[in-house]
Every structure is written in structure tokens, then in C-alpha cells.
């Protein structure tokens, strides 16, 4: 599914970027162009990025982040 129509960035591309170490919207934009044009996709892209980071993070990272 396309998340960013302007730059043809898919949900799977965002998940791949997160799995490869992208952990912020600024990094995601630099890498994929996502949200760099009209910005309409920013909220959805951030949600996909966040979901993926939470799923991929080792448990000790989540505990540290919550503290
Ligand atoms: S839909 Fe992503 S920048 Fe326009």
C-alpha cells in the first residue's frame, strides 16, 4: 500500500527503512523522500515507522524508553 503518493513510498518501504536503522521522520524523508512534498502522508508514515520500531526493538530498549 502506498503511504506517500507524491514520492511513491510504500508501507513496506517504510518498514524496511526502519528495520535498517531509520528511526525518525527526518531520516525517513532523507532516505525515501516520504513526506517531503505535500506532507499529507506524514501522520500515516510516522505511525507505520513507530509501529515497526516498537515491533523490532529488543525488550530492554522498550523498558528504557518507557522510564
Ligand atoms: S503524499 Fe507524501 S509528500 Fe505528498
C-alpha–C-alpha distance, residues 63 and 31, integer Å: 28
Give the chain's residues under pLDDT 50. Answer: none
CA of 2 to the centre of ligand 1 (A): 10
Q: What is the pLDDT of residue 65?
A: 55
Burial class (CB in 10 A: 0-12, 13-18, 19+), 25: middle
pTM of the shown model: 0.84
Ordered structural domains, the chain, with CATH: 2-66 (1.10.10.1100)
Ligand 1 probe mutation, 6, 26, 31, most atoms within 8 A of CB: 6
Amino acid at each position: 500500500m502506498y503511504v506517500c503518493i507524491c514520492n511513491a513510498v510504500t508501507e513496506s518501504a517504510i518498514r524496511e527503512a526502519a528495520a535498517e536503522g531509520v528511526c525518525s521522520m527526518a531520516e525517513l524523508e532523507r532516505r525515501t523522500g516520504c513526506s517531503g512534498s505535500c506532507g499529507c502522508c506524514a501522520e500515516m508514515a510516522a505511525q507505520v515507522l513507530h509501529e515497526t520500531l516498537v515491533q523490532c526493538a529488543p525488550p530492554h530498549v522498550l523498558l528504557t524508553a518507557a522510564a
